[in-house]
């Protein structure tokens, strides 16, 4: 008999511990937004929209800023309940997360796909379940385009064109008419950002008779590799390099290190033998370098997708149509001055003059 009591005590213990271990999790979750079940019982106006977000991981500042932006945009206060899943760099986990979202009957699925291929099967399950899928940042490559509702992301070619446009306008404005020797420190070969940004430079070199592309080599988006590649180029070409086109801020950081170590000066005054550095991303570290004039112009790769995604989902909720492909708005920052806007294919894009105040306002 004593043992029976002890057994029942143990069962109670099990249940309590279980509550502590697992349930505190979802009780917490419910506090945040109320489950979709409850939501549906309420008046329609009070209904909270449940959204499943499958994110690649948290490997870089850029990615984390992106996640934060989406999480903040879909806050419970605005009537959203966001289920976030971190796939830790594995497509398998993303597919699993999407299946879980489908099982939970979320209203929308937002996906930042790890790779382009391999989504057909799981996205058709989402379609079968009647859940719209919004893809952002990277693209998906599926046979049937109707498997996802829309895509939103960066226009990497435009980013490159704006950087080249700035350089061209700057040279014209300063009346610099000498030969311009450029080296291109590329991103990871095959990444869509690398393809777009490199293509824009190749285009610009063809369009300007004075521009010469001395070399291009991949720095894998890391500062260590960027530095290594730049060292190599300085050994090969030395003082004749005028412009370095670094395809992200991390590599620009390495490039600047290498140039300074080799005893050259960095700056916008090409006629005095200074080396001008162009960069992309506009991360915090990159912007600080731009403020010091080490990076002449930093073209933004905007991670703040939250507001734009809210806009899309509000449209879908209202039953409106959305564009299949939209590009996110991006800015360009420079502390060099002289140039206020850059023209690309008849559209004028502003260049923001970088001040410490602007730096403070930026979250990323």
Residues engaged in binding other proteins (CB under 8 A): 1, 3-4, 6-7, 10-11, 13-15, 17-18, 20-23, 25-30, 32-33, 35-37, 53, 55, 58, 81-86, 88-92, 95-97, 99-101, 103-105, 115, 117-118, 121, 128-131
What backbone phi and psi angles, to 5 degrees, belong to 131?
-110, 120
Bridging pattern class, strands 347-350 and 108-111: unpaired
Looking at the Cβ atoms of 130 and 356, the one nearer to other proteins is 130
Q: Smallest distance from the beta carbon of 108 to other proteins, in angstroms? A: 11
Q: Smallest distance from the beta carbon of 237 to other proteins, in angstroms? A: 32
Looking at the Cβ atoms of 39 and 165, the one nearer to other proteins is 39
Q: Smallest distance from the beta carbon of 36 to other proteins, in angstroms? A: 7
Q: Smallest distance from the beta carbon of 63 to other proteins, in angstroms? A: 13
Q: Smallest distance from the beta carbon of 346 to other proteins, in angstroms? A: 40
d(CA 136, CA 280): 19
Looking at the Cβ atoms of 53 and 291, the one nearer to other proteins is 53
Answer yes or no: are the C-beta atoms of 87 and 100 closer than 8 Å. no
Answer yes or no: are the C-beta atoms of 181 and 214 closer than 8 Å. yes
Looking at the Cβ atoms of 110 and 158, the one nearer to other proteins is 110
Per-residue exposure over 252-271, b if at least 16 CB sit within 10 Å of its own CB, e if not: bbbbbbbbeeeebebbbebe
272's CB contacts (< 8 A; 6+ apart) are none
Instruction: Count Cα neighbours of 231 within 13 Å in the Cβ-side half-sphere.
Output: 10
Looking at the Cβ atoms of 218 and 242, the one nearer to other proteins is 218
Q: Smallest distance from the beta carbon of 53 to other proteins, in angstroms? A: 8
d(CA 97, CA 229): 39
Nearest CA among 353, 305, 344 for reference residue 163? 344
Q: Smallest distance from the beta carbon of 192 to other proteins, in angstroms? A: 16
Looking at the Cβ atoms of 146 and 178, the one nearer to other proteins is 146
Nearest CA among 120, 121, 59 for reference residue 89? 59
194's CB contacts (< 8 A; 6+ apart) are 186, 187, 188, 218, 247
Q: Smallest distance from the beta carbon of 70 to other proteins, in angstroms? A: 12
Looking at the Cβ atoms of 4 and 320, the one nearer to other proteins is 4
Nearest CA among 292, 297, 284 for reference residue 331? 297
d(CA 50, CA 106): 5
Looking at the Cβ atoms of 23 and 261, the one nearer to other proteins is 23
């Amino acid at each position: 008999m004593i043992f029976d009591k002890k057994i029942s005590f143990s069962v109670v213990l099990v249940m309590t511990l279980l509550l502590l271990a697992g349930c505190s999790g979802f009780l917490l979750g419910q506090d945040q937004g109320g489950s979709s079940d409850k939501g549906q019982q309420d008046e329609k106006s009070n209904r909270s929209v449940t959204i499943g977000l499958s994110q690649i991981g948290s490997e870089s500042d850029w990615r984390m800023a992106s996640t934060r932006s989406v999480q903040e945009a879909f806050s419970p206060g605005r009537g959203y309940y966001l289920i976030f899943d971190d796939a830790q760099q594995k497509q398998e986990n993303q597919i699993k997360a999407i299946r879980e979202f489908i099982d939970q009957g979320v209203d929308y699925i937002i996906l930042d796909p790890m790779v382009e291929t391999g989504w057909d099967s799981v996205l058709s399950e989402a379609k079968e379940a009647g859940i719209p899928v919004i893809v952002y940042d990277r693209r998906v490559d599926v046979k049937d385009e109707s498997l996802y509702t829309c895509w939103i992301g960066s226009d990497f070619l435009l980013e490159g064109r704006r950087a080249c446009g700035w350089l061209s306008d700057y040279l014209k404005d300063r009346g610099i008419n000498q030969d311009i020797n450029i080296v291109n420190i590329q991103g990871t070969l095959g990444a869509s950002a690398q393809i777009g940004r490199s293509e824009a430079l190749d285009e610009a070199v063809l369009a300007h008779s004075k521009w010469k592309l001395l070399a291009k080599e991949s720095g894998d988006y890391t500062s260590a590799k960027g530095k290594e590649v730049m060292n190599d180029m300085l050994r090969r070409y030395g003082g004749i390099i005028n412009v370095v086109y670094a395809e992200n801020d991390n590599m620009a950081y390495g490039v600047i290190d290498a140039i300074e170590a080799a005893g050259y000066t960095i700056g916008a005054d090409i006629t005095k033998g200074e080396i001008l550095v162009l960069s992309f991303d506009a991360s915090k570290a990159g912007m600080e370098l731009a403020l010091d004039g080490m990076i002449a112009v930093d073209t933004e790769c905007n991670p703040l997708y939250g507001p734009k995604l809210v806009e899309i989902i509000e449209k879908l909720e209202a039953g409106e149509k959305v564009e299949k492909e939209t590009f996110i708005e991006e800015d360009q920052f420079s502390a060099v001055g002289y140039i206020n806007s850059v023209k690309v294919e008849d559209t004028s894009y502003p260049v923001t003059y970088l001040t410490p105040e602007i730096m403070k306002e930026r979250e990323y």
